[in-house]
Structure 1
């Protein structure tokens, strides 16, 4: 399922707000992930996993920055995230099931910080975008 022009416009509009606060959104989404899905902590055993720790903020910023690259390249998400996909599949060996879990936590975080109408169409566009990102990140596992 590809992104329509409306989807792309919705994603860009929402992401403009998210990308202005990458540490806030990224850290909160990661913290939600760790609290809701304990097994994801395995990859971060060397981190201080308390809410708003400097390590969670720094890694959260990396997550949002990577997603910003994808938003800036909506017509070539695979190309924009190619190196990140290789890293997660070949070096870090992250279980692919974790990407959709993080995507959900990102959606929840966006919804919690939304100051305007987060209608069903916008939410669906963000969900489609994050599903595309997840597919790209697991593509190297095949």
Structure 2
């Protein structure tokens, strides 16, 4: 179980309070698919992902970005039991979808870049540290079924 300080919780809540899931979710997934093109293999049913413009303009990519970020947001309400919160999703991604668990980290890295771009200098290092800890806990929980 991850131990959270009151300050970390406050920072994470502050970041989430300023994230527009409908904007940041698509941006993070688009960035992930463009920067790490091998991650596209899990999205064969999404249609054309052959160019950056195709990825950015793809409504299925945008929708899944919202779904992914909404799922990531779920941890905020379950910070004291993140592993259990993501147990079902971990099984789904490992046993049915066969997603490389490192892709969760890549998506979270892309999300951090999107968040930093939106926040600018107001995303102080101590806030980012709490955010990275939060994302790492979720990535670990999502990858739990793989271990």
User: Normalising by the residue count of structure 1, what TM-score does the alignment of the two structures yield?
Assistant: 0.91
CA distance in 2, matches of 1:119, 1:2: 21
Which residue number in structure 1 is paired with residue 24 of structure 2?
A: 25
Cα contact 1:3–1:128 (8 A) shared by 2: no
Deviation at 1:116, TM superposition (A): 6.2
Question: Number of matched residues?
Answer: 140
Residue 128 of structure 1: which of 112, 130, 133 is its match? 133
Which residue number in structure 2 is paired with residue 11 of structure 1?
A: 12
Alignment of 1:91-130 (within 5 A): 91-114=96-119, 117-130=122-135
Which residue number in structure 1 is paired with residue 81 of structure 2?
A: 76
Gap regions ≥5 residues in structure 1:
none
User: Mean Cα displacement is larger for which, 48-57 or 79-88?
Assistant: 48-57
User: Mean Cα displacement is larger for which, 111-120 or 58-67?
Assistant: 111-120
Deviation at 1:129, TM superposition (A): 0.6
CA distance in 2, matches of 1:61, 1:92: 18
Which residue number in structure 1 is paired with residue 90 of structure 2?
A: 85
Report the aligned-residue RMSD. Answer: 1.5
Which residue number in structure 1 is paired with residue 45 of structure 2?
A: 46
| Runs of 4+ with >3 A deviation | none
Cα contact 1:22–1:61 (8 A) shared by 2: yes
User: Normalising by the residue count of structure 2, what TM-score does the alignment of the two structures yield?
Assistant: 0.89
Cα contact 2:30–2:62 (8 A) shared by 1: no
CA distance in 1, matches of 2:113, 2:58: 20
Gap regions ≥5 residues in structure 2:
50-54
CA distance in 1, matches of 2:18, 2:77: 14
1:2-50 Cα offsets, whole Å, 9 max, x none, are 43221111111101222xx212111000011011111100101221442
